Structures are given as structure tokens and as C-alpha cells.
Amino acid sequence: MEGKFAYVTTLLIIIWIALIYSPNITTEAFLEELVAGVIISIGVAAITSKNFEGLGIKYLHPKRIAYFIAFFFVFLKEMVKANLNMARIVLSPKLPVKPGIVEIETDLKLPSAKLFLGNAITLTPGTMTIDYSNNRAYIHWVYVESTEPKKAGEIIKGKFERLLKEVSS
């Protein structure tokens, strides 16, 4: 409980500093803003921190952070690939699409891990998360390669899920 509160407060203060930073701010003004930010962060964290799941000091283990950074880079690479693919589909005269909504299963337990998986699926090649119900996700696919949940899942979420499992387990 206490860990969660400290975690949310620190996160809010970091976001606040990123927002108030500007190239030629005076030290005095920066300190004033910082004090206001600390007070507001503590207030907001006191009200909201009990609603968050999957936060806490134990998630700051170096191994988890390393896997999260790996996830981020894989995500960036897949995103660039997705966009080149989409540009190719959009510009080709015959418009090679074969759309459909498929169903896949995921083993991830934490809601925040599921959110990251869903966002990663939406921004990568030809797939878009439409809905979650428990551990099933419904994915819209521009070019359906398989309607079998296992096989489709392997194609769509393969790498991401393995990395996120290391982060969240």
C-alpha cells in the first residue's frame, strides 16, 4: 500500500518536471513550480493510488526494466515495419485486403500488461484490438492468414507476449 503511494507520487512529479521544463526558465521560478507540483502530486496520489493495479516497488527490478526496454525497441521496429506495409497496401492499385475479425487468447494476468499488449497490437502490422473479454482478445486483421486462435495468436502477439510476461510475472 505504502509502496504504491510513493510510486504514484514519484511518477507524477517526474511528469510534472517534464511539463514545466523550458529552455530559459530561472532557477527561482523552477523551484516555485516544483514545490507546487510536489504538493499537487501528493494530493492526487492520496486520492487515486488505491485504484491502480500492477504498481509497486517490486516492479522496479532491473531485470524487468531491461525486458521492458527490449519490449520498447521491438515495438518501435515492428511499428516502422507496420507502417511500410500499410503504405504498400494503400498505394498498390489493386488494394490487396482480406479483412476479418479473429479471436486470440492471452496468458497475461495483469490489466496493465494486457493494456500494453493491446496497444502494441493496435500499432503493429495490419492488426487492431477491438475488445477484451477476460483472457480473449478480438482482433481486426487487414489480411487474415489464419482463423485458428492458437496460430493467429502466435503470428499476432508472439514476441510481445513473451517479453511482457517476463516484465509482469
Partner 1 sequence: MNSYFVYLILSIIAASIALGTYRLLKGPTASDRAVALDALTNITTALLVLIAVLSSRFIYLDVALVYAILAFVGVIAIARYLEGGL
Partner 2 sequence: MIEQILDYVGMIFVFIGSLFFLFGTIGLVRMPDLYNRMQASTKTTTLGVLSFLFGIGLMQLQWMIKLLVIALFIVLTAPVGASALARASHNAGIKLWEKSVVDKYEERKK
Q: Interface with partner 1 by CB under 8 A: which residues?
A: 19, 22-23
Residue closer to partner 2 (CB basis): 25 or 36: 25
Residues 6+ apart with CB under 8 A from 58: 3
> CB neighbours of 25 closer than 8 A, spacing ≥ 6?
none
Select the residue interacting with partner 2 from 5, 41, 71, 126 (CB under 8 A). 126
Helix orientation angle between 62-91 and 111-122, rounded to the nearest 10 degrees: 30
**Helix residue ranges, H only, the chain:** 2-20, 27-48, 62-91, 111-122, 149-168
Q: Which one, 46 or 136, has the nearer CB to partner 2? A: 136
99 binds, among partner 1, partner 2, none (CB under 5 to 8 A by kind): partner 2
The string of DSSP letters for 54-99 reads S-SGGGG-HHHHHHHHHHHHHHHHHHHHHHHHHHHHHHSTT---B-
Binding of residue 82 to partner 2 (CB under 8 A): yes
Site for partner 2 (CB under 8 A): which residue of 130, 135, 158, 169?
130
List 61, 65, 80, 109, residue binding partner 2 (CB under 8 A): 80
Q: How far is the CB of 159 from partner 1 (least distance, A)?
A: 26
| Residue (82 or 155) nearer to partner 1, CB | 82
1 binds, among partner 1, partner 2, none (CB under 5 to 8 A by kind): none
